[in-house]
Amino acid sequence: MKAPKIKKAAVVLVALALFAGLVWQFGPFQAIFAVANLTDPRKLATLGERGANPRLNKTVYWLKEAESRGMPAGMAISFAQWINWTTEPRASLVKESLLRNVKIADGLGLMTADNRMRLRNGRAGVITKGPYVNTPAEVDHIVPYSLAPEAGNELANLELMPQELNRRKSNRVGERQLAHAERLYRVGLLTQESLARVKAQAVEGAEGEGRTPAKDAKAR
């Protein structure tokens, strides 16, 4: 009597295992856990100089993969942040940045089959749309690394950019970079010393271009 019951239970377990495998393979859960692993603040804090750059490429790949499996990128990020216990206000800033990078990747044509493989492996995609076709899409630090090294591996400070524009930008600080530095400072991702360097660079750059720098927003 026991043998048939054991056999039936084994069949049920095998069926459940197969079902779980199919859900993992073709559902969005693999993408969610990949994004959680790649964006875990605790792991990012252990990386060396520019160590988060390939992680951004991989994250963009997995967010697009989540979309292809029926889950919006924003929802995948929210689940990943829940897994990592990423809290506000950092969570919103990182989510905003990742969604912006997904949009940039689409605009630069980084979702071809070859590019998806590059991104999945953490390598730079090759631009297939727009004026910078056939050049790499590098990872840029919105607030320059030389001025704020503590934000070097902060996903909220990373952005995909055509190589030519990235090299041209260098460590220049304009209104956008200054405003972003102040946002990072307000959420505790930038030190007061680094913010002061960014402000000084903004003033120096404005004077060199013969313009008046925009009035700084008060750091709260």
Check whether 138 has a pLDDT greater than 90. yes
Those residues whose C-beta lies under 8 Å from the C-beta of residue 165, and which sit 6 or more positions away, are 132, 140
Whether 217 maps to a domain, the answer reads no
Those residues whose C-beta lies under 8 Å from the C-beta of residue 198, and which sit 6 or more positions away, are 143, 144, 147, 148, 173, 177, 178, 181, 190
Q: Supply the mean pLDDT for the chain.
A: 88
Q: What is the mean pLDDT of residues 197-210?
A: 80
Whether 213 maps to a domain, the answer reads no
Reported as a single tens digit per residue, the pLDDT across 23-74 is: 444 479 999 999 999 999 999 999 999 999 999 999 999 999 999 999 999 9
Whether 52 maps to a domain, the answer reads yes
Whether 218 maps to a domain, the answer reads no
Whether 220 maps to a domain, the answer reads no
Residue 193, burial from CB neighbour count under 10 angstroms (0-12, 13-18, 19+): exposed
How many structural domains compose the chain? 1
Whether 214 maps to a domain, the answer reads no
Pairing of strands 125-126, 136-141: antiparallel
Whether 109 maps to a domain, the answer reads yes
pLDDT level of residue 220 (50, 70, 90 thresholds) = very low
Supply the pLDDT for residue 20. Answer: 38
Residue 87 is part of which domain span?
2-208
Whether 152 maps to a domain, the answer reads yes
H-only helix segments in the chain: 2-26, 29-39, 41-44, 53-68, 73-84, 90-107, 113-120, 163-169, 175-186, 192-208
**Cβ–Cβ < 8 Å for 217, 179:** yes
